[in-house]
Structure 1
Amino acid sequence: MDRASHLKDRRANRRFPAMAATIDRLGTDIPTVPADTPVGTVDGMFRMDPALRAVAVQDGPRQLVLLTRRLVETHLSGRLGYGRALNARRTAGQLLPEYRVVCRPGMSLDEAAKIALGRPEEVRYDDLLMLASDGPKVVSVSEIFEALAHSFRHAAWHDDLTGLPNRRWLDEEGPAVLARSNPDRTALLYIDLDHFKAVNDTHGHDAGNAVLVEFGRRLRECLRIEDAAVRLGGDEFVALLADIDEADAEKVAERVLEAAQEPMVHGEHALALSATIGLAMARDIAWDEELGPLDVLLRHADGAMLTGKQLGKQRVQRLDGQAGNPFARLAQIRRRFLGALEDGTLTVRYEPILDLASHRCTSVQAVLHWDDPELGSVEPHEFLPVAERSGQLAPIALRILDEVCAQAAAWRRDGHAWRVGLRTVPTWLAGGQLAADVKAALAAHELDGEGLRIDVGGRFALSDMAHAKAQLAELRDAGVDVGLDGYGSEHGTIAVLRALPFTMLKVTSDLVAHIDSSHADAAIFSGIVNTGHALGLRVMASGATRAPQLRLLRELGCDAVRGELIGGPMSAEELVRRFGSDPSEPGQARQVCLAGEAASNVS
């Protein structure tokens, strides 16, 4: 695609983003003639106006029928060339087709295409008649399919929410843009909204969506027609600037920065945000043989943005070079994670949970695991925030929920009645789909609620409490356990415990790490256990690594424990081998408890 065609396509996308909605724009005005009009007169109209494709024939007081140029020419040519003589005395009404279709304004392209394809093959691609308020119009079937193809292409390449080109467009068209651009005059802005998560958590998703739409509009206004504004996902955007020097690129970035700082009105609220922007010039980066120019440029700008975040946000940041950049790994994670779902490197592992009363592994925790060919093993705390910010968390969560339910059902069929814990986030609750999604997955795999526990962690918005309570209550009614994950962090509070109907309290590993060496930490943990039990909750400790910790957890009344001492995340097959023994056998869980008791005797 040359530069002129590229700009023409971008202008068309801006002017007609909803061109695909209806057939209205495709109609061309045509004259109306009485049914008794001689065929010769109609033929003369077509000869006088080569652009005229059809006329509307008044066949009765209320009916208009389309008579196309093709149909008239077919009749007049006839067999052996005698058609004109044979039809000289006929009228327009006598040439009308038997198969008659009338379209109305507002009809979608999809509906019009179905009507066309539903006609007999010999007339399938003939024009259609549209009766508009300002008179009859002819609609070309070929234009319908062309517009429909444009609609599909637009939908595939554009973000549903903001209307901006999406990551797919950038991946497919970005390399061509760079190939025809002068590296000395090509820049990329990597834009991340500051405090967007706080807006989502405090005011809800509708406010968050409104912010994204408004910022997308402002971003377009800050750019030239030849520049590309792209929404990568979540609150991350990219601006690809061609034929621009460094000074002007910095001016564009400053304009974007100022636009983000203007309050965004949603209902009665004026939402204050800002942005951090990473700026990279194509001339400043060294191309990588394994990565394309676009990937390297994105990584460089992403690293600059992350550096800007670290330095205080609300700024335009440059990187002089990638060497020694502390954010190089995170920037690479953000780029590599996009393909993790498709290439099968993102998998589920299971961590055993020891029940301290029965000395057995009665439940497990599902843990996401990512082995990337370039990055190696990537921990969940590294890639889950990336998934959440890029908008990938929801599809990942649904896929993992389905996989976990399938595995739990398979285990139960094999005699292993493990309840599987799956961590989610408050935004799934806020979206209103958590309970419905969970119950649908349970039903799909014929698994009862006792096979699953949903753990919720992170920040709860006070405005979402009633909604979250209803969702969790629905899960409990279905037999599903619901746990508060990460209690002891800044997000886990007594107010949340009192407001929401949890069944389990999962204490963060930070409060478990030193309970066997710090009286203060042991006292704090003891208070948490007493609080949980007073509220009717089971208490589980995370991060147990030493036998003395296990002994003390039992003494303090903790109900369950997970951590390296019990066993790290492992495959489903390995979990069965190590913890699926007959109840009459000691098993690994029993051996761990015995080790804890031995430590107790030694001390």
Structure 2
Amino acid sequence: MSDSPQDTTGSPDRQRLSAEADSPAAPGDDALAVDGPGGEALDWLYRFVAAIELAPAVAVHSMDESGVIHYWNQACAHLFGIPARDALGRPFRELVSHIGHQTEFDAIIADIWQGGAAPPPRDWYVETASGRCLWVHSNHFAVRRGGVTRQVFCMEIDITARKQLETDLAQAARVFENAHEAIIMMDAEYRVQAVNRAFTTITGFEPGDIVGSTLASLPWGDGDAGFYQSIWSQVDGQDHWEGELPARRKDGASYTAWVALTTIRDTYGEPANHMVMLSDISERKRVEEQVRHQAEHDALTGLPNRTLFLDRMHHALATWRRQHDSFAVLFLDLDRFKEVNDNNGHQAGDAVLREVATRLRGCVRRVDTISRLGGDEFVMLLADIGGVDQAAHVAAAVMAAVSRPIEVARQQLTLSASIGVAICPTDGGDVDTLMHHADVAMYHAKAQGRSSFRFFSPEMNARVVERGELDKRLRQALERQEFVLEYQPELDVGSGRVIGMEALIRWRHPDRGLLLPHDFLQVAEECGLIVPIGEWVLREACTQARAWRDAGHEATVAVNLSDVQFLHGRLLDTVDDALAQSGLAPHCLDLEITEGALMQGDAGLDGTVAALRGRGVQLTVDRFGTGVASLSSLRRFPLSKLKIDRSFVSDIEHDPDDAALIPAIIAVARSLRLRVVAEGVETAEQLRFLRQHGCDEYQGFYGGGASSRPDFKPAAR
């Protein structure tokens, strides 16, 4: 062909084609050749050009040795987005770039010009001058005349869609094989066609074990035909089903599978395939179960916690409403468990709680529930009891189980329990009422000596309500300063001179008048108010004692400390503050404590007593003889006095045994170098007896009763 450009319509030039057909190609040339007379060749060439011009799917173009385009058919213009008028006369590489392989393409074209041999067909990824990227399948061949290559023709087909499909298929195949979930491909009749590697990893089954099987024969589900029928029904209606199934591996091991089944429809909307995605969720189920168990169970004992217990209470109430089956609630508290922690450490306390939980499990049936509410409190739900006798039997069994010695850290500890019992529906028909009434009954079991169980009664509840009201009023009394102090003289036995005053608290109740300590101090101790009340007493007494001394009365002031206050960690700070605020000298303050407080204290108590005595504060053992202190234990503490309990003094004239005890107590005090105070002296005979046996001081109505304005005159002898 000549180098002159073709017309813009792409129609061939007859003269140009005729000139190029003058000489036949050499025989055997691997090229498009023209031979025979000129007219016949020209007609053939016209037909060839017309054919390729009108070919709708084949892009044809030709180029000379410099790469300039000489022919560009309509399909070529459509494929590359470049019309013939813009392509003819321009180098092909300016129109189409072979992405990443331009040098290789140029070398192939150069080989055709040099040798004339047509290279094998090739796929190329190209970018056109118009910015379009596509895949083409190219055939290049030479047009030769007289053994010389005159033109290079290229026939190209757009294979972009095919390449994209191949890419998609390859990607899908990679996803199929590399997915972490097992994938099963099935035909329209649910017969397995293929499985991926994850299926073998999860189930242990090789493709040969499973291909050709039906869905219903796969190792999952319960094997019930109705089960699979429900799956088919949902898939037919919604093209999808998913759910959790029990499954087995090839080795017989069980696991939990999450299965999702989806229908794949063809272009006509008909089911063509089914795909199953399978995941092993056994570990997830285990973690979920562990988290749920932790959320619903006590970490220390493994028993259900309050949340789970209340849920089961609601279930029990629902059952009772339907079937009228009674059930019982047992509220259990370990007696004096604090002493276990204080004396043996919290690790020992935890070991005791775990052992108690184990023993409680052995006292009930599997349908019953035991819960640890916190600390040393447990609650039990006895389902479907035949009557109160069964509840009483379980309560007795629990008490016996708890009372058996528990070995902890190579020592045996003995505990007891107080239990309250409430019955549904007799004692309540809702969760809160039953729990409250069981708690009330337990409180009464403790109040009546511990180590027992009590059934709830309305009378109990009335007393608890009264106690709750007293608790509230005590808090208000402290805020409103309704407490007052009266003072009882302490007199020298020999001279009758007042040498001290004991501060006694009273409560001026706005409705009930003046209340004595036994009317409210026990409740104050139980509700946690005994420490702030005791701190108020200490400050008030020290202030009053300083006022007396400023008025010329050389008297000490005695303040009773409850066991809780004496063992409280802030005692030293409280004493220091009271002395500093009042300006009272420490030796003028006498703190009265019980034998029980001395026995309950841990190793730190020695330091507290030593610190108080080091400050100069006096310490008196109150109500000596009614506790459990031994002579050896008293030797540990630098005390000041022993106070003989009034119960011994009152029977001096009538009970020889009590009378004989007083000289013994005085002898113990002398051996410990302690002064002796007798309380409750009401007659001259009692005072004479005490003086005769060497008692140092006394208190009582004979020497002057308690008063807010004590008389410092000597008592009558």
TM-score by length of 2: 0.44
Corresponding residue for residue 190 of structure 1: 331
**1:297-346: CA deviations, max 9, x gaps?**
64345335656x57xx3x54435x456xxx78975676455435413178
Q: Which residue of 2 aligns with 1:276?
A: 418
Kept in 2, the 8 Å contact 1:334–1:383? The answer is no
Query: Whose RCO is larger (CA < 8 A, sep 6+)?
Result: 1
1:429-444, aligned counterparts within 5 Å?
Answer: 433-444=570-581
Instruction: Note closer, same or farther for the CA distance 1:239–1:567 as it changes in structure 2 (3 Å cut).
Output: farther
Instruction: Give 1:407-486 correspondences, 5 Å limit.
Output: 407-413=541-547, 415=550, 418-424=555-561, 433-459=570-596, 467-486=604-623
Residue deviations 1:112-148, cap 9 Å, x none? xxxxxxxxxxxxxxxxxxxxxxxxxxxxxxxxxxxxx
Give the 3-state SS of the residue equivalent to 1:544 in structure 2.
Answer: coil
Give the Cα–Cα distance (whole angstroms) in 2 for the partners of residues 266 and 164 of structure 1: 21
Check if 1:406 corresponds to 2:547: no
Shift of residue 275, structure 1, vs aligned partner: 1.5
> What's the offset of the Cα at 1:517?
3.8
Q: Answer yes or no: is the 8 Å Cα contact 1:330–1:382 preserved in 2.
A: no
**Counterpart mapping for 1:285-300 below 5 A:** 285=427, 298-300=439-441
How far has the Cα of 1:536 moved from its partner? Answer: 2.8
What residue number does 1:343 align with? 476
Distance 1:213-1:450 versus aligned 2 partners, 3 A rule: farther
SS at match of 1:397: helix
Structure 1, residues 11-68: CA drift from partner, whole Å, max 9, x if none?
xxxxxxxxxxxxxxxxxxxxxxxxxxxxxxxxxxxxxxxxxxxxxxxxxxxxxxxxxx
Residue of structure 2 equivalent to 1:513: 650
Which amino acid letter does the alignment assign opposite residue 531 of structure 2? A
- The residue number in structure 2 matching 1:45 is none
Question: Hey, what's the Cα distance between the residues in 1 that align with 2:395 and 2:475?
Answer: 34
Q: Distance in 2 between matches of 1:561 and 1:567?
A: 10
Tell me, in whole angstroms, the C-alpha distance in 2 between the residues paired with 1:428 and 1:282: 41
Residues 22-37 of structure 1 aligned to structure 2 (within 5 Å):
none
CA contact (8 A) 1:187 1:246 kept: no
Give the secondary structure class of the aligned counterpart of 1:512.
helix
Which residue of the partner structure matches residue 379 of structure 2? 239
Contact 1:227 1:241 in 2 (8 A): yes
CA 1:295–1:462 in structure 2 vs 1: closer, same or farther (change >3 Å)? closer
Q: Which residue of 437, 444, 447 corresponds with 1:303?
A: 444
Amino acid across the alignment from 1:239:
V
- Deviation for aligned residue 1:504: 0.9
Larger CA deviation: 456-465 vs 552-561? 456-465
- The Cα shift of 1:351 comes to 3.7
Instruction: Kindly provide the CA deviation profile for residues 491-542 of structure 1, in whole angstroms up to 9, marking residues without a partner as x.
Output: 2432233221100111111211122344553443234334424533221112
Q: Which of 603, 626, 637 is residue 500 of structure 1 equivalent to?
A: 637
Instruction: Give the 3-state SS of the residue equivalent to 1:190 in structure 2.
Output: strand
Structure having the higher strand fraction is 2
Aligned-residue RMSD, C-alpha: 5.3
- Using the alignment, how far apart are the partners of 1:487 and 1:216 within structure 2? 36
Could you say which structure has the higher helix fraction?
Answer: 1
Q: Which residue of 2 aligns with 1:59?
A: none
Name the amino acid aligned to 1:284: T
Residue ranges of structure 2 left out of the alignment (5+ in a row):
1-297
Match of 1:562 among 672, 679, 699: 699
The TM-score, its normalising length taken from structure 1, stands at 0.51
- SS of the residue corresponding to residue 543 of structure 1 reads coil
Seen in structure 2, the aligned counterparts of structure 1 residues 377 and 270 have a Cα distance that, compared at 3 Å, is farther
Over residues 362-401 of structure 1, what are the superposed CA-to-partner deviations in whole Å (9 max), with x where a residue is unaligned? 433334546779999876567656665x4x55x5224412
The answer on whether the counterparts of 2:405 and 2:412 sit within 8 Å (CA) in structure 1 is yes
Partner deviation per Cα, 1:128-172 (whole Å, 9 max, x = no partner): xxxxxxxxxxxxxxxxxxxxxxxxxxxxxxx9x999999xx99xx
TM-superposed deviation, 1:408: 1.9
Equivalences for residues 3-402 of structure 1 within 5 A: 187-194=328-335, 196=337, 199=340, 203=343, 206=346, 210=350, 214=354, 230=373, 237=377, 239=379, 257=399, 260-261=402-403, 266-281=408-423, 283-285=425-427, 298-303=439-444, 309=449, 313=451, 316-318=453-455, 321-322=457-458, 335-336=468-469, 338-344=471-477, 347=483, 349-356=485-492, 357=494, 359-369=496-506, 380=517, 390=526, 392=527, 396-402=530-536
Find out whether 1:489 has 2:626 as its counterpart. yes
Equivalent residue letter for 1:550: L
Q: Distance in 1 between matches of 2:384 and 2:476?
A: 37
Q: Give structure 1 stretches of 5+ with no counterpart.
A: 1-158, 580-586, 598-603
Give 2:197's aligned residue.
none
Aligned residues: percent identity?
25
Deviations 1:98-122 (A, max 9, x none): xxxxxxxxxxxxxxxxxxxxxxxxx
Paired residues in the alignment total 400
Tell me how far 1:262 sits from its aligned partner.
Answer: 6.7
Instruction: Note closer, same or farther for the CA distance 1:428–1:244 as it changes in structure 2 (3 Å cut).
Output: farther
The question of whether the paired residues in 1 share the 8 Å contact of 2:330 and 2:438 is answered with no
SS in 1 for 2:418: strand
Distance 2:499 2:475 in 1: 33
Question: Is the Cα–Cα contact under 8 Å of residues 418 and 445 in structure 2 kept in the other structure?
Answer: no
Other-structure match for 2:19 = none
The answer to whether the Cα contact below 8 Å between 1:261 and 1:273 also exists between their aligned partners in 2 is: yes
Shift of 1:560: 2.1
Partners of 2:467 and 2:304 in 1: CA distance: 19
Distance (Å, rounded) in 1 between the aligned partners of 2:392 and 2:524: 29
Tell me whether 486-495 or 370-379 shows the greater mean CA deviation. Answer: 370-379
CA pair 530-342 structure 1, distance change in 2 beyond 3 A: same
1:575 and 2:716 matched: no
Shift in CA distance, 501/246, structure 1 to aligned 2, threshold 3 Å: farther
* Separation of aligned partners in 2, 1:451 and 1:250: 56
- In structure 2, what is the Cα distance between the partners aligned to 1:340 and 1:499? 41
- 1:199 positional shift: 4.2
Shift of 1:481: 0.5
